[in-house]
């Protein structure tokens, strides 16, 4: 029994128009820094590529293609350290 898989991905151009939406809030303190919670959503207006998978089992070929949409949803958690103010030298 011989089993062979070959996969190739092709992009659909260099530039793509997309919608990017962010929503979040941050909590600021004067001593501890900033804490940010949010979500982001990315939605391209057209597919970003094509993946082609070739299967071959005992000389019986099968080809499957998938369009790659490229949308995603993220949860964002960020912490920014508080910096001490710089002291300026007197003139």
Residue 3 pLDDT: 86
Distance between CA atoms of residues 66 and 69, nearest Å: 9
Residue at token pair 């959503």 = 41
Residue partners of 50: CB distance under 8 A and separation at least 6: 9, 10, 12, 65, 66, 67, 68
**Per-residue pLDDT for the chain (91 aa), expressed as one digit of tens each?**
788 899 999 999 999 899 999 999 999 887 788 899 999 999 999 999 999 999 988 888 899 999 999 999 999 999 988 877 777 877 7
Distance between CA atoms of residues 48 and 29, nearest Å: 42
Distance between CA atoms of residues 4 and 58, nearest Å: 9
């Amino acid at each position: 029994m011989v089993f062979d898989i070959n996969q190739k991905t092709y992009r659909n151009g260099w530039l793509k128009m997309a919608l990017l939406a962010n929503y979040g809030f941050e909590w600021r303190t004067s001593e501890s820094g900033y804490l940010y919670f949010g979500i982001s959503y990315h939605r391209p207006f057209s597919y970003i590529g094509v993946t082609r998978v070739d299967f071959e089992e005992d000389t019986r070929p099968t080809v499957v293609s998938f369009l790659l949409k490229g949308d995603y949803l993220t949860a964002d958690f960020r912490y920014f350290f508080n910096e001490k103010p710089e002291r300026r030298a007197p003139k």
